[in-house]
Amino acid sequence: MTEPVGRTSFGEPRVDRTAQLTARPTERDIAYDPPPMADSLHVRAARVLEDNWTGASTVPSRSLYPHQWSWDSAFVAIGLRHVSPLRAQTELETLLGAQWGDGRIPHIVFNPSVPLDAYFPSPDFWRSSTAGRAAGAPRTVQTSGIVQPPVHALAAWLVHRADPGLSRARGFLTRMYPRLAAWHRYLLHRRDLGAGGLASVVHPWEQGMDNSPCWDAPLSRVTPAPARSFRRADLDHGSAEDRPTDLDYGRYVRLATDYRDGGYADGPGDFAVEDPAFNALLIASEHALAEIARELGATGTARHARAERLTAALIERLWDPAEGMFFCRDVRSDGLDEGRSGGPAAGELIPERSVSGLVPLLLPALPRDIAAALVRTLGGPHFGLGGTTRLVPSYDLLGEAFEPHRYWRGPAWFNTGWLLERGLRLHGERGRADALRRAILHTADASGFAEYVNPYTGDACGATGFSWTAALTLDLLHDHPAWDTTAVRELKGGDRG
């Protein structure tokens, strides 16, 4: 589609978006990668983002997720930076424009033109402008009241690096930095519910891996909302076999209702979990904030030091050396286990192997022995990467709760694959990183940029034409553009069944 002539909400002239996304501008001599071939993987991925563009942000999926989602937009911006740095900046600016006064970035920013019954929970459920008034919810924008993983500072830094001249001319980082700093303060102070230095999530939706078996034990304490009190719009667009059960959904609704009715205040509640991926992304973004501070004239030293302290806390509280991976900690559980320093640590580790426990491989200050153990676990029988699985499953292949098609209980997701590809490369595992990248590119292409896939077969699950799948495809193609026309084609011919 073509945007009408006019001006965007940030004052720039509107342009033909399809031309902008599928071709390189001739007036600016910045070689991101070679011009894409007609109908190449690059062009097809860019078209997905164009189709999901609303004018100020990108929806994850037109049918299933018709609003703006927080960590989706961060991943979208990371991919968009290669084809439209301006639009990548706009993506993040729109999201952070809905930030609350207490610093939280809500997990959904609602589009007022979308009918209320198109998605549940809808704005009339969250009631952000009234129930969230004490927490500083915006009055003119309707949002949810919970959050999602803090990928945003990392995304902002990568977007800046794609076109520093444009970023500086627009004051992009100058405007983003105080908002991102407030977001991190919120997580580090309001969400340290386990008193161990890590941020807790207060709802499974906050961690992003909504239906993970990691939540089964903490959720068992939650009385589900009556089935008649809500209608699941997700089942209108997806198979019930791929989605959370009605019992789980009822518990999600109950938690969200109680949080809303408490004015979105963080404190005692039925659900509070320290999650390794959520905190690893906070640490990665804290490192990125340090780089942003340096770009703006500060030293960034304090933020790097904070990131290193958070890494130490992550290891202290969530690392299990015997299992070779990180685990979630249920800070509301009654029991006490022994911390690695020999002292008591509140709550219990949740003995479920999830891809979340591998994501800390992304961290630069991770001790070498821990990084090596994570790589072994990634390729071992519980995740099977490079052996039995094409992409990294979201849950333990040998776990009793494993289901290859059901939301976050086994399928592979492209954003976690992208994070692990970065982590493998960071820690010198170039061969494994290259293999994972090739698998991601091939599977994204073959599945129609699916939301998630069967980890064994690569068959599409959920929505197709999914934005972060397309965006992260663009990011991986940027590093090795030749794969757009060579390696991906070779994989199609010789891939195992």
Choose among 497, 410, 387: nearest CA to 462: 410
Distance (Å, whole) CA 19 – CA 50: 10
Per residue in 343-381, pLDDT tens?
334 589 999 999 999 999 999 999 999 999 999 999 999
Distance (Å, whole) CA 106 – CA 98: 7
Dump the DSSP string for 103-117.
S---SEE--TTS-GG
The residue from 3, 51, 192, 210 that is catalytic is 210
- Percentage of the chain exceeding pLDDT 70: 83
Distance (Å) of CA 393 to CA 85, 362, 379? 32, 17, 11
Q: Is the pLDDT of residue 11 over 60?
A: no
Distance (Å, whole) CA 234 – CA 237: 6
The answer to pTM > 0.85 is yes
Q: Is the pLDDT of residue 485 over 60?
A: no
| Phi and psi angles of residue 460, each rounded to the nearest 5 degrees, phi first | -70, 140
Q: What is the pLDDT of residue 22?
A: 46
Query: Locate tokens 């002292």: which residue?
Result: 343
Q: How confident is the model at residue 118 (pLDDT cuts 50, 70, 90)?
A: confident
Catalytic residue status for 210: yes
Total count of residues recorded for the chain? 497
How much is the mean pLDDT over the chain?
A: 87
Q: How far is CA 48 from the centre of its chain?
A: 18
Averaged over 177-201, what is the pLDDT? 97
Q: What is the pLDDT of residue 38?
A: 63
Q: Is the pLDDT of residue 19 over 60?
A: no
Q: Is the pLDDT of residue 433 over 70?
A: yes
Please count the CA atoms within 13 angstroms of the CA of 283 that sit on its side-chain side: 26
Contacts of 417 (CB under 8 A, 6+ apart): 391, 392, 436, 439, 440
Instruction: Provide the β-strand partners of residue 83.
Output: none
Q: What is the pLDDT of residue 243?
A: 64
78: exposed, middle or buried (Cβ count in 10 Å: 0-12, 13-18, 19+): buried
Q: How confident is the model at residue 13 (pLDDT cuts 50, 70, 90)?
A: very low
Q: How confident is the model at residue 401 (pLDDT cuts 50, 70, 90)?
A: very high
**Of 94-103, 261-270, 468-477, where does mean pLDDT reach its minimum?**
261-270
Per residue in 273-318, pLDDT tens?
999 999 999 999 999 999 999 999 999 999 999 999 999 999 999 9
Averaged over 73-100, what is the pLDDT? 98
The residue from 266, 451, 475, 484 that is catalytic is 451
**Of 34-48, 99-113, 128-142, 292-306, where does mean pLDDT reach its minimum?**
34-48
Q: How far is CA 192 from the centre of its chain?
A: 20
Averaged over 228-253, what is the pLDDT? 70
Q: What is the pLDDT of residue 238?
A: 59
Total Cβ atoms within 10 A of residue 387: 9
Distance (Å) of CA 204 to CA 146, 148, 149, 187? 10, 10, 11, 16
Q: What is the pLDDT of residue 63?
A: 85
Spatial strand order in the sheet of 348-349: 200-201, 273-274, 329-330, 348-349
Choose among 74, 152, 145, 135: nearest CA to 109: 145
Q: Is the pLDDT of residue 481 over 90?
A: no
Q: Is the pLDDT of residue 21 over 80?
A: no
Contacts of 18 (CB under 8 A, 6+ apart): 1, 2, 47, 50
Q: Is the pLDDT of residue 36 over 90?
A: no
Averaged over 466-487, what is the pLDDT? 76
Choose among 178, 187, 119, 196: nearest CA to 151: 187
Catalytic residue status for 192: no
